[in-house]
Every structure is written in C-alpha cells, then in structure tokens.
Amino acid sequence: MPTDLHPHLAEAHTPESRAEFGPDTAGPILPGAWLGMLGGGQLGRMFTHAAQALGYKVCVLDPDQDSPAGTVADRHLCAGYTDDAALVAMAQQCAAVTTEFENVPAQALDRLEQLGAFVAPRANCVSIAQNRIAEKKFFAACAPKTGVSPAPHWVIEHQADIDQLPADLLPGILKTARMGYDGKGQARVTTREELAAAWKAMQHVPCVLEQMLPLAYEVSVLAARAADGSTATWPLAENVHRDGILFSTVMPSSSVSPDVADKARAAAAIVTGEMQYVGVLAIEFFVLKDGTLVANEMAPRPHNSGHITMDACETSQFEQQVRATARLPLGSTRQHSAGKMLNVLGDVWYEFGLEREPAWDAVVGHAGAKLHLYGKADARPGRKMGHVNCVGASPDEAAAAFEHAAVTLGITL
C-alpha cells in the first residue's frame, strides 16, 4: 500500500480554521470516506481490515515503515505521532480518526480535533487510561453508580508515601503509573523494605501500590458507545494470563455467575457514559473468591480478550470500532458460537533453539480453529504474533478446537 515517508509531509498545508474541512459531527460518515488510525500495530491492522470490508479507506499514522497496519492500509503516513505535518495530512484526508493503543500522545488527538477531524475516543478519555493514578480515581468516582470499586491502593510519588503506607496494604503489587502493559512495570512486594527497593528499581517514577487480593479469576468486558450515547456490551470474557501476557480467553465466562456478569456489563456501560466515551473500551475486572467484583484497569481501544468476537459474535470489536468512529449504528453483540481464544506468541516459531515455521496447515485442519496472523516478519519470544479463535456449537467443542491448536503449536496446556 502507498506509504508517505516523513520528508514528503512537509508539503502539507495547515488549514486556517476548523471549518475548512471539518465534518458534520451530527451525521454518519458513509462508506467511501477515509478513516484515520493512530498506531500501526495488530489492533490497527484488524481495524483496517474491518473498515475496508465496510467500504472505507484507511490512513494509518505510525513511525514504523513495516508496521502491521501500515502495510495493509490504503495510505501510510510514516512519521511520529506528534509530527504536525503528518497530523495535518491525516486531518485533511480523514473525516474521523481513532487509535489502537492507549499511549498515543494526547496532544496528537487534541491537534486532530482542532484541525477538524472527528476523534473517537477523545484525548481526555485516553488520558485517564494512560495513568493508573487517574484511572483509580476515576473508577472510585464512578463506584457510587457502578457499585464496583478499584482494589485498595496507595499512590507513591515520594519517599514519605512509603513511610506513611497503611500496613494492611501489604503484601501488594507496585505498578508504574504510566507505560505498563503485559506485566511490565510491576513488582510484587511483601514488606516496606521490598517496596522501597522496587520503587528505586523503577527509578522513583510515580507508582500505585495495589493490595494483593484473594483472586478467583479475571474477566473483562468490552463495551462500545456511539456518539449518540447508545451503548452495547459483549458477553463477559474470562481470561488466563501467563507471565503477565494474556494466554487464553473464554467467552462467555464459564465461571462467573449471571448476577456478576450483569453487574460487570452494566458497570462498563456506566463508565463509558461517565466519560462521554465514543468507541470500543475494554475494562478488566478481578472476581474475588467471595464473589466480589473489583475494577482493575481499562484500555481505550479494542482488547486482546476481545479477539474472540471476530468469529464468535455477530459484530466483532473491530467492526464495532469502525461503526463508532464513522457514527454508524452499533452492531449486535450477540454471541452465536461458543468461543475460546489462544494467543500465539513468537515462542512457537522456535523448537530446540531453532527457528522454523509453525504447522499452520495442521492448526487450521480442525474445522473450529480460525487462524489470525498479524503480518509481523520478526518472530521473537513473548511477541504477539497472532491468535487462534476456537469456536463450536458448545463450550466443549470450542475447548476441543483450542486443545488441538495448542498441542499442534507445542504450547503447554
């Protein structure tokens, strides 16, 4: 697909006013129009495919010339996220813009909106999810309406915060306020001394200490909210992590009670409304051994645990993101097949220390196994390379397809 390299972007012209090319934010943006995507990773790639299937053209802004989304988009602006010429070029071409990762600079979203693009989600929504301190405060502020609180926690920005830490918050998990994902930027601590050492290892950046809770399992809710305020949520997903990275997702959750599932889905819908959010939002929850639901964190974008919607639900999370971005009616989130997702990391490319191509033909030999690869040329251990959606008429059928895929790829169950 066409790629615009950075030097060419300087030729773009900054508009004098929002009215020069600003869309009518009240009406739908119909197929044939251009949609913008900040971020070129796999989530952007799957958004691009969904948008193109609906008849849209996609412009991706990402600094990596070989990004998964940039290689399939109709146009790739190869530049940094705050490059003003690139942002002007995107706003000139695209009626609406969205993002695929929460750490996109908020000023880039603000600039696109200033230039006249419809931005979904807006910068203020993304900013909350970029900072665990702000995120905890927001969950706590929503708790009177949702009935769901965050884990007991303590903000650590100075040594005095460690000295004044309530003793009952230990043992706990220390997490950096920013840039932590897939288990990165986290440390388990049991004493005040361990906490101080861990904070020093994190170079004394702002952190949050979360009390260790008696966790039964983890679930997530994918919620979508349209510009007109309508909302939709998918069935609850139950997640298993290995080394801080999502290993598998079952939808619907096989463990959660109907009451807890309803409470989680309702809470997610309320949260999107409180933020005036537009787009797809994922919220991860802890379910404790006594059945208590605890808000963990959120991602202002489609989520790894929502990949199963691509093959098990009427509307995938990526099509829904397209719909919300283009101000189309939201699609049905009805689940038509039992589903279990297997995350595929770069480890499966290696056997006895040697790199080889996995037996994809054997994986897809099972009728219930749907393979999705992300187009990344370099397979590295721990790197997300794809996923296998395993579906069936019953949870047992989906589980059988999951076992087949895992065993074929040499993944330990």
Task: Report pLDDT digits (tens) over 319-358.
Answer: 999 999 999 999 999 999 999 999 999 999 998 778 899 9
> For residues 249 and 307, what is the distance between their CA atoms, to the nearest angstrom?
9
- The tokens for 285 are 């929850």
Residue 6 has pLDDT above 50, yes or no: no
pTM for the structure as a whole: 0.92
| CATH tag, 3-119 | 3.40.50.20
> For residues 152 and 294, what is the distance between their CA atoms, to the nearest angstrom?
10
| Tens-place pLDDT, residues 308-318 | 999 999 999 99
| Tens-place pLDDT, residues 109-123 | 999 999 999 999 999
| Tens-place pLDDT, residues 290-312 | 999 999 999 999 999 999 999 99
Cα diameter, the chain: 61
Counting Cα atoms < 13 Å in the Cβ hemisphere of 191 gives 3
φ, ψ for residue 163, nearest 5 deg = -60, -35
| Tens-place pLDDT, residues 249-290 | 999 999 999 999 999 999 999 999 999 999 999 999 999 999
Residue 9 has pLDDT above 60, yes or no: no
Q: Say what the pLDDT of residue 236 is.
A: 97
Counting Cα atoms < 13 Å in the Cβ hemisphere of 374 gives 26
φ, ψ for residue 231, nearest 5 deg = -130, 160
Task: Label residue 45 by pLDDT band (50, 70, 90).
Answer: very high
Give the helix ranges, DSSP H, for 99-255.
Answer: 106-114, 123-130, 132-146, 159-163, 192-201
In this prediction, residues 11-15 reach a mean pLDDT of 30
H or E element, residue 321: helix 317-325
In this prediction, residues 49-54 reach a mean pLDDT of 98
CATH topology of 3-119 equal to that of 153-211? no
Rounded to the nearest integer, the mean pLDDT of the chain is 92
In this prediction, residues 359-376 reach a mean pLDDT of 97
Task: Label residue 181 by pLDDT band (50, 70, 90).
Answer: low
More confident residue, 180 or 230: 230
Q: Say what the pLDDT of residue 22 is.
A: 38
Q: Say what the pLDDT of residue 108 is.
A: 97
Share of the chain above pLDDT 90, in %: 89
Residue 128 has pLDDT above 60, yes or no: yes
> For residues 208 and 32, what is the distance between their CA atoms, to the nearest angstrom?
45
- Residue-range domain boundaries for the chain: 3-119, 153-211, 215-409
Architecture of the structural domain at 215-409: 2-Layer Sandwich (3.30)
In this prediction, residues 239-249 reach a mean pLDDT of 95
Residue 130 has pLDDT above 60, yes or no: yes
Q: Say what the pLDDT of residue 244 is.
A: 87
Q: Say what the pLDDT of residue 353 is.
A: 79
> For residues 393 and 314, what is the distance between their CA atoms, to the nearest angstrom?
15
Residue 28 has pLDDT above 50, yes or no: yes
| CATH tag, 153-211 | 3.30.1490.20
